[in-house]
Structure 1
Amino acid sequence: MNLDRSELSRILGVDLPAGADTVIGVTHDSRAVEAGFAFVAVPGFRFDGVQFVPEALRRGASLIVAEREVPDTPTVVVPDARAALAELARAVHGHPSRELEVYGVTGTNGKTTTSYALYSILSGIYGVDACGLSTTAEIVVAGEREPALRTTPEAPEVQSMLARMLEAGVQRVVMEVSSHGVALKRVTGTHFAGAIFTNLTRDHLDLHGTMETYFQAKRELFVWADGPKLANAEDEWGRRLASEIAGTKTFGGVPEADYRVEEVQSERNGTRFDLRHATGAVTLHTPLLGAYNVLNVAGAAAFALEIGAAPDALVGAVRDMAQVPGRFERVSTERALPFEVIVDYAHTDVGLAAVLEVARQTAAATGEHPQGRVICVFGAAGDRDKAKRPLMGEVASRLADVSIVTTDDAYSEDPVTIANEVAVGADPARTTVIVDRREAIREALLQARHGDIVVVAGKGHERVQHLPDGDVEFHDATVVGELLAELGPAVA
């Protein structure tokens, strides 16, 4: 919708310069500017948006919003450019979250799986056309799927997406909310009708600095949410969240949980468990494997019950859940293999440990030979918290029989340096460094024997690898398929 001069002045809290009479759109990306747009010059981590003002003007920007004056430019100076970007984005798209039920899912690990679980439950109960999903892996609008650029997009993309969902007839939206999304005001002002907290472990300290600051970013979502709120009672930060935010209920396998997980049974085709609460219990079967996925599904199921889902409908929706892209994703092949290949997004020591523990259990349960091994290919990201690198090496050495350290997203750092820092924490007798990710996966496949499980961790659903010399296309599951075709009988 068009924002006139008086509305813009009200939103920004200042008088507008001459000539800035209307705005039809807003962006922080000068390449996306169209005639009549407001361009918000956001100070970034590497670049200041002010340097892109000439490009925005050339493309037809009618208003520049910045945190300082820009000479010879119709500029509005605001104290916080990101806050202004969020407010303008909500307004220009008509505040779509006011007419939607938006449910936020936050935490370090399990956000995407919990989001998929909740979306699957809701779409199974209320219909695909009435539900939307926004995650790290993809965006789903009334059944139509598209790739996601990041966990929580910038404010204009968030509000545009919600507006599209509303226009498509969507009524309920599950949104994965990252700490970056909160701290960088990408979702500020969005109306959340409920929230789920999965857990908090070491990650993103390059942005937040401390675990306390990291927690406060997650906590903010619960402050905003005005509907059901659920936190993982097995996590110390989840228990703290429940004690601090009124109305927050808990889930987990501990006696004090409001939604208590009991009688967990691992099966070849998934996991069965009971979810007991104040007014009864429901037995659920999910195709997902692993104790951490029990918690992910339990959180989603508890939330569905909180918003009024019928237990019988919930049982069917959980049973029919689809595989989550890049989350313990079994790579399908055209021919039968004597081993199994798993792709997972795990990129922290805690996440990697959880995946490898499930891989170990799966190898024991499905391998015809009792000595089925776990082979792990993994790396650590560059330009991120360096302290977790040796921790990941230690985890892989402890829980995998064979570890191959390779390159994840190196960004501006030297991939060899990163790999060596990971290997510091690893057992040299069980660890090999192969910097080229494709070659590392090839070696893992060549080493795999009958009953083994190969885990390719770190990238999951992602289709681009960020390297010092530029981005390259790389999708782990696709590369596995290509290599299996190339190797042929060598891996039969």
Structure 2
Amino acid sequence: MRLMMNLAELIEELRGCVIDGNPTVEISSVAYHSRKATDGTLFVAIKGFKADGHDYVSDAVKRGAVAVVVEREVDAAFEVCKVLVPDTREALSHISSVYYGTPSRKLDITGVTGTNGKTTTCYLLRSIYEAAGMRSGMLTTIEYWIGRKRQRAQLTTPESLDLQRILGKMVEGRVKALAMEVSSHGLALKRVRDVEFAKGVFTNLSRDHLDFHVDMENYISSKRSLFKNLRLGAIAVLNCDDPHWEDMASATQARVVKYGFAGSADFRATEVKATLDGTQIKASWERETAEIESSLIGRHNAYNMLASAATAAYSGLDKEAIIAGIKNVKRVPGRLEPFRLPNGAKAFVDYAHTPDALKRVLDSLKEVTEGDIICVFGCGGDRDKGKRPIMGEVSTNLADFTIVTSDNPRSENPQAIIDEIISGAKKDNFKIEVDRRKAIEEAVAMAKPRDSVLIAGKGHERFQTVGDVRKPFDDRKVLSSLIGKGN
């Protein structure tokens, strides 16, 4: 469906814009990729990681764009309306929201941010909404749910135009509540600037994405911005066991609800029991108590259970829906996803790709594993190099044996990445196998009946990027094939 709007309506509230041309032109679509421009398009030029939309303004006009939004002068001769703004990313966010009818105002949206636990928290929260009889949506690194319709995710947090279009579809589909991951990239790149969140959830914070943010100060600042932009009447649900919760609390005017194990928590876990069959917690809040069970394994998942339950409870949902919703989630793809090996050993595929995530998962497995833990992991190329030796130290310290392998090497030499990882090893309990499939095969072959094998780093991913080639590769399929062959 193509929407028709007057350009003047779309840019009416844009701050500091200078208009050159006729602002009454009719707009039939909005695009930020020139190849998607057609007759009647408003083209917004944004700077990406590899290309700058300002270099493609002429191409967009040739394809039919009738107006362009830019943040600098462009060397092109064309007779369409030009709107000069201080920041085209801000402009794209605003224009997209207006174009799709400000859909976030018609949804109960919970934004979940933090370094680890975002995806699982969203899965749990969506399940609670469904148990409460609410039609729900979900946007995560793995997949998007628009009511009953599922699609694979392209980005954790879609570009603002794509995000507002999705929100518009949710409104059309009578979705009431949405649980969505809000990545630090999405915040820094202003993709959610015009999303009105009813709730913001903070899971935890540790080193990640420093290839993009450069330093921890910028990374923390991006996370804080979610809570800074919450409106009066919104709720900030914060993990008070994480030292950075106060950074988030000090930034917000929203009502603060604390969750965790600490005595000061508003929604508190008083007991936790973790086994290879799942996790149980006893929780208390206000005048309520509940015993909550989950098939998800590990103490770190107790925090995800608390985050989702606290959000739901302080949104007014009853505890029966909370208990049922969390119990209904049997597994989350690539998040400590369990597999039973033919000899009785357990294998797990997890997305842990930061030092803290790897530590949390290994700590969780140590608590429930009777035998040894064998860890297979690598680090992605063209990403934060500083974390590599730290992860090498974490795995060799906590796992009984580590096989260091390739992740997504991208443009880097896989062996060079591995060398940086093992430079942090403090023990000689590891080996190197550059080929990830062979590394997984070796780990499975080594495992004894009471052991646990952790395949970390890629989780739900279905591809491996080597150089410029993106080839099919799924840790879960590799494991399944080995199990089918009986090792």
1:10-61: CA deviation from partner (whole Å, max 9, x where unpaired) = 2543325249712222222233333322222212233222223344334322
CA contact (8 A) 1:342 1:456 kept: yes
1:337 is displaced (CA, Å) by 4.2
Paired residue secondary structure (2:396): helix
Distance of 2:330 and 2:40 partners within structure 1: 43
CA contact (8 A) 2:281 2:291 kept: yes
| Structure 1 residues 181 and 326, CA gap change in structure 2 (3 angstroms) | same
Paired residue secondary structure (2:293): strand
Paired residue secondary structure (1:255): coil
Which residue of the partner structure matches residue 364 of structure 2? 358
Distance of 1:104 and 1:327 partners within structure 2: 19
Equivalences for residues 141-290 of structure 1 within 5 A: 141-226=146-231, 227-246=234-253, 247-290=255-298
1:435 is displaced (CA, Å) by 1.8
Distance of 1:172 and 1:406 partners within structure 2: 41
1:138-179: CA deviation from partner (whole Å, max 9, x where unpaired) = 101112221101211111111111111111110100110011
| Structure 1 residues 413 and 30, CA gap change in structure 2 (3 angstroms) | farther
Paired residue secondary structure (1:60): coil
CA contact (8 A) 2:392 2:423 kept: yes
Which residue of the partner structure matches residue 144 of structure 2? 139
Which residue of the partner structure matches residue 425 of structure 2? 426
1:243 is displaced (CA, Å) by 4.5
More helix by share: 1
Distance of 1:331 and 1:144 partners within structure 2: 27
Tell which deviates more after alignment, 180-189 or 443-452.
443-452
Distance of 1:14 and 1:419 partners within structure 2: 52
Distance of 1:461 and 1:278 partners within structure 2: 37
Tell which deviates more after alignment, 49-58 or 99-108.
49-58
Tell which deviates more after alignment, 10-19 or 109-118.
10-19
The letter for the 1-side match of 2:34 is S
Which residue of the partner structure matches residue 402 of structure 1? 401
| Structure 1 residues 332 and 99, CA gap change in structure 2 (3 angstroms) | farther
CA contact (8 A) 2:124 2:325 kept: no
| Structure 1 residues 332 and 29, CA gap change in structure 2 (3 angstroms) | farther
1:98 is displaced (CA, Å) by 1.0
Q: Say yes or no: does 1:4 pair with 2:9.
A: no
Which residue of the partner structure matches residue 339 of structure 2? 331
Give the counterpart of 2:322 among 314, 317, 323: 314
| Structure 1 residues 393 and 187, CA gap change in structure 2 (3 angstroms) | same
Give the counterpart of 1:347 among 347, 353, 371: 353
The letter for the 2-side match of 1:179 is S
| Structure 1 residues 305 and 8, CA gap change in structure 2 (3 angstroms) | closer
Paired residue secondary structure (1:274): strand
Distance of 2:431 and 2:39 partners within structure 1: 54
The letter for the 2-side match of 1:116 is Y
| Structure 1 residues 282 and 441, CA gap change in structure 2 (3 angstroms) | same
1:201-220: CA deviation from partner (whole Å, max 9, x where unpaired) = 01112222332221121111
1:421 is displaced (CA, Å) by 0.6
The letter for the 1-side match of 2:409 is A
With normalisation by structure 2, the TM-score equals: 0.93
Give the counterpart of 1:46 among 43, 50, 71: 50
With normalisation by structure 1, the TM-score equals: 0.92
Paired residue secondary structure (2:369): helix
Paired residue secondary structure (1:456): strand
CA contact (8 A) 1:124 1:317 kept: yes
Distance of 2:389 and 2:175 partners within structure 1: 45
Which residue of the partner structure matches residue 313 of structure 2? 305
Paired residue secondary structure (2:207): coil
Distance of 2:11 and 2:163 partners within structure 1: 23
CA contact (8 A) 2:266 2:285 kept: yes
The letter for the 1-side match of 2:153 is A
| Structure 1 residues 432 and 20, CA gap change in structure 2 (3 angstroms) | farther
Equivalences for residues 54-133 of structure 1 within 5 A: 54-70=58-74, 71-73=76-78, 74=80, 75-127=82-134, 130-133=135-138
1:322 is displaced (CA, Å) by 2.9
Distance of 2:10 and 2:249 partners within structure 1: 39
Distance of 1:59 and 1:86 partners within structure 2: 23
| Structure 1 residues 464 and 40, CA gap change in structure 2 (3 angstroms) | farther
The letter for the 2-side match of 1:279 is R
1:426 is displaced (CA, Å) by 1.9
CA contact (8 A) 2:11 2:95 kept: no
Distance of 1:363 and 1:311 partners within structure 2: 31
Distance of 1:471 and 1:56 partners within structure 2: 29
Distance of 2:10 and 2:175 partners within structure 1: 29
CA contact (8 A) 1:242 1:250 kept: no
CA contact (8 A) 1:288 1:323 kept: yes
| Structure 1 residues 282 and 428, CA gap change in structure 2 (3 angstroms) | closer
CA contact (8 A) 1:20 1:63 kept: no
| Structure 1 residues 57 and 442, CA gap change in structure 2 (3 angstroms) | farther
The letter for the 2-side match of 1:188 is R
Distance of 1:391 and 1:9 partners within structure 2: 48
Which residue of the partner structure matches residue 445 of structure 2? 446
The letter for the 2-side match of 1:433 is I
1:399 is displaced (CA, Å) by 1.1
Which residue of the partner structure matches residue 367 of structure 1? none
Q: Let me know the Cα RMSD of the aligned residues.
A: 1.9
The letter for the 2-side match of 1:408 is D
1:301 is displaced (CA, Å) by 0.3
CA contact (8 A) 2:378 2:405 kept: yes
Tell which deviates more after alignment, 250-259 or 322-331.
322-331
Distance of 2:44 and 2:339 partners within structure 1: 43
Q: How many positions carry a matched residue from both structures?
A: 477
